[in-house]
């Protein structure tokens, strides 16, 4: 391909990207994969790491890598949408969080959920967790889970 054609294709691509409507964002799968690759090295003792991909008004999105159980969570004003990218785990949804503690504004966390329904998680699964619904990720030893987490404020 000639140098002029390559420059023309580059400019067309740049113009197409510049043509996104105000407020619209494009996040490529390559970018998500690149960010995901950095997460295992950032895990602390709770065996989870995440990186923000963007925040827009009442919602935000992060990419998450997990190799251990999560705390039980209850969000008073946020729904979660979780898109499983890879790996396997389980999630408990519903029930109660005994001895739950307020850990941030509008958020309660605890060590476990009593009651609730346990669901297996696999690549391609999508979850919607409404506000005020306890939930907790559970991984067996050796399991890993990669997902997108979208937080939606219920304002």
- Tell me, yes or no, whether 15 lies in a domain: no
- Tell me, yes or no, whether 19 lies in a domain: no
CATH, residue 78: 2.60.120.10
- Tell me, yes or no, whether 129 lies in a domain: yes
What is the average pLDDT across 58-80? Answer: 96
Name the domain count of the chain.
1
**pLDDT score, position 55:** 93
3-state helix vs strand vs coil in the chain, percent to 5? 20, 45, 35
Per-residue pLDDT tens over the stretch 71-116: 999 999 999 999 999 999 999 999 999 999 999 999 999 999 999 9
**pLDDT score, position 21:** 84
- Tell me, yes or no, whether 89 lies in a domain: yes
- Strands 145-153, 107-110: pairing is unpaired
- Tell me, yes or no, whether 147 lies in a domain: yes
Taking the alpha carbons at both ends of the chain, their separation in whole angstroms is: 53
Structural domain of 99: 28-153
Model pTM score? 0.83
- Tell me, yes or no, whether 16 lies in a domain: no
User: Would you state the structure tokens that stand for residue 103, as one six-digit string?
Assistant: 């850990």
């Amino acid at each position: 391909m000639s140098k002029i054609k390559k420059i023309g294709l580059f400019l067309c691509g740049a113009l197409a990207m510049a043509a996104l409507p105000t407020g619209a964002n494009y996040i490529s799968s390559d970018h998500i994969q690149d960010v995901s690759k950095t997460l295992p090295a950032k895990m602390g003792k709770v065996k989870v790491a995440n990186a923000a991909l963007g925040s827009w008004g009442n919602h935000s999105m992060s990419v998450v890598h997990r190799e251990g159980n999560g705390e039980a969570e209850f969000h008073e004003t946020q729904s979660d949408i979780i898109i499983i990218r890879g790996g396997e785990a389980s999630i408990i949804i519903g029930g109660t969080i005994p001895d739950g503690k307020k850990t941030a504004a509008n958020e309660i966390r605890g060590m476990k959920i009593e009651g609730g329904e346990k669901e297996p998680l696999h690549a391609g699964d999508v979850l919607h967790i409404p506000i005020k619904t306890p939930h907790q990720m559970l991984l067996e030893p050796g399991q890993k889970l990669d997902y997108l987490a979208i937080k939606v404020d219920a304002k």
